[in-house]
Structure 1
């Protein structure tokens, strides 16, 4: 199928809409996600840019009760440790934040970067090896936006001990964690980030590039 390389105003508006409605979701409905829908969303990974065309993303579907329990305990331990880094009103606010949807989200995906992949023949990664991980981040972002177009939400859990998670999930040594993703139907919709709504931080306006 031939695709037009130009975009209409309505298509640009649609792109802005999906970016505005993309939220880091922490509150999910427990209803299951149709597998065909998930498969359609996962195809976005194959369309993502990657350094040297290395496609270094490795995706683990975390489905067993034991594995999910280990991830939840990992999060709770890391979250308790993180709380100790705050004091006063900030600590009180942090303690009241819901920072992960681990118990409700029907789908958990752990996404890793294969640092030892031979695909791409090292192009670009020889000088900047971190570009492999950046490639995985780009792929996750495309996946995130695609999920939104299907009415699904995603939460990116960053309060985790990555080495412990790798050990608990029996992950190869050369794979490095990039994102632990909770996916499902959002419990509510909104344009504003929850952290902004709760007064944790404010979104900055469009940055102005510096000149050199």
Structure 2
């Protein structure tokens, strides 16, 4: 069976990939797996800033309008150069012309779509899923943009037959092709912040009712 590839990732999921052999970062709303880049340049001192950024969002490295690395005017040369206060890294040219720098790598890694694995959630939400057959409850952190089918797939480790259930909120069957918001499951975070209340005090509950078949992903 073909493995399901999520479209969206939470910052927490990105942060779990923080080792040299399994290194993800996010920037400008996208998630990237830089593990192949790290393997290709193993031992290169220019990997240091990337290794230090493992599992983090590095959008501040970029100009959001150009989607390229931030630039500044070099005080030594008066030329516009990449601005890398975190240290020069792979595919950034040296400050001064250098004969031993190979510039035949093609696209710099931050412009190469082959490293992209998905979209960073613009917001995450917590939902409480209650199996009415077993009375088991699980709280999931999900991406606000995800459809209910995608949320169902997040829940599969807790219940391999999750698709054999009817999913309901406040007695209404959920449209599995729509998001939580589109299913009228409101996001109360803004109101809780306004009232200076802990957002974890209330987590919307979705009830699962067994359909008496054994659909399995």
TM-score strictly above 0.5: no
Q: Which has the larger radius of gyration?
A: 2
Provide TM-score, normalisation by structure 2: 0.22
* Higher RCO (C-alpha 8 Å, min separation 6): 1
